[in-house]
């Protein structure tokens, strides 16, 4: 009689245990489906693969209570402002971020822009800013008091090239707008900018496009284009004046 009672108890416990396991599996599946859905939503919204990869990285880190910037600090405790790709990958493993090998390779491709095998702080911040994946305010790391955002740096680069080539803003807009729909999308911009100079990486194009696209509809009208180029010109003038004042101790 007693034996039967014990057996029943054991069966009950086993059933409960299986239930728990099944629940946990279900929860994991749901989590995976959610991630898949988020990825698909981003793809539908014309979000680039680079942005998706960085967003995923940021999400995994936030689950561990880290911003992307804090993660870099853990890779670079001595503040050398440079982390080898191997160290970066190792740290992703140490934090158990659960990123696939493909995801990690994509991240490295984006972050180590010049493919020299290390990720400088500048490369890292530039990528975070270009794809809107930063988690902290960025401060100057080159000894100056004034931080020029990556978006502004990319615009300054564009203005300088246009000036060198004596190309007007209208000409630039027309050469970008291949399909003549009076709108410039990121692909159109990329084709022209990468044709200009090897200095234009994908990140620059992304940042420039973000700067132009005020209403964030993933496309730039001629009005946005001209207005923002004029704004960039004012910013560049202020930047040059700051540099010329030659007082590194004064904040901008
Ligand atoms: Ca590099
Ligand atoms: Ca177009
Ligand atoms: Ca727009």
Backbone conformation region of residue 186, classed left if phi is above 0, alpha if psi is from -120 to 50, else beta: alpha
How deeply is 223 buried, as exposed, middle or buried, from its count of CB atoms within 10 A (0-12, 13-18, 19+)?
exposed
Neighbours of 191 (CB within 10 A): 13
Whole-number Å distance, alpha carbon 29 to ligand 2 midpoint, is: 41
Whole-number Å distance, alpha carbon 232 to ligand 2 midpoint, is: 22
**Which residues are near ligand 2, the ion (C-beta closer than 5 Å)?**
177, 179, 181, 183
For 48-130, the fitting CATH number among 3.40.50.970, 3.30.420.40, 1.10.150.120, 1.10.238.10 is 1.10.238.10
**What's the mean per-residue pLDDT of the chain?**
90
Architecture per CATH, 150-245:
Orthogonal Bundle (1.10)
Between residues 39 and 6, which one has the greater pLDDT? 6
Confidence of residue 154 (pLDDT cuts 50, 70, 90): very high
Tens digits of residue pLDDT in 198-241: 888 888 999 999 999 999 998 999 999 999 999 999 999 999 99
Rounded-to-integer distance, Cα 173 and Cα 123, Å: 28
Residues of the chain within CATH 1.10.238.10 domain(s) are: 48-130, 150-245
């Amino acid at each position: 009689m007693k034996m039967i009672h014990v057996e029943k108890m054991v069966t009950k416990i086993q059933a409960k245990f299986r239930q728990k396991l099944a629940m946990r599996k279900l929860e994991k599946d749901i989590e995976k489906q959610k991630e898949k859905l988020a990825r698909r939503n981003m793809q539908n919204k014309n979000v680039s693969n680079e942005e998706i990869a960085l967003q995923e990285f940021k999400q995994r880190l936030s689950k561990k209570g880290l911003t992307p910037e804090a993660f870099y600090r853990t890779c670079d405790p001595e503040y050398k402002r440079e982390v080898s790709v191997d160290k970066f990958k190792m740290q992703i493993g140490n934090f158990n971020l659960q990123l696939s090998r493909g995801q990690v390779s994509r991240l490295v491709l984006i972050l180590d822009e010049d493919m020299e095998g290390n990720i400088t702080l500048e490369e890292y911040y530039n990528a975070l800013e270009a794809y809107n994946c930063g988690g902290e305010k960025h401060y100057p790391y080159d000894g100056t008091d004034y931080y020029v955002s990556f978006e502004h740096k990319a615009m300054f680069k564009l203005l300088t090239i246009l000036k060198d080539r004596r190309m007007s803003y209208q000409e630039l807009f027309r050469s970008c707008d291949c399909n003549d729909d009076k709108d410039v999308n990121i692909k159109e911009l990329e084709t022209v900018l990468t044709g200009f100079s090897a200095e234009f990486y994908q990140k620059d194009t992304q940042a420039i496009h973000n700067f132009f696209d005020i209403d964030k509809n993933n496309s730039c009208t001629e009005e946005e284009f001209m207005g923002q180029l004029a704004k960039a010109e004012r910013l560049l003038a202020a930047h040059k004046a700051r540099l010329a004042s030659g007082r590194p101790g004064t904040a901008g």
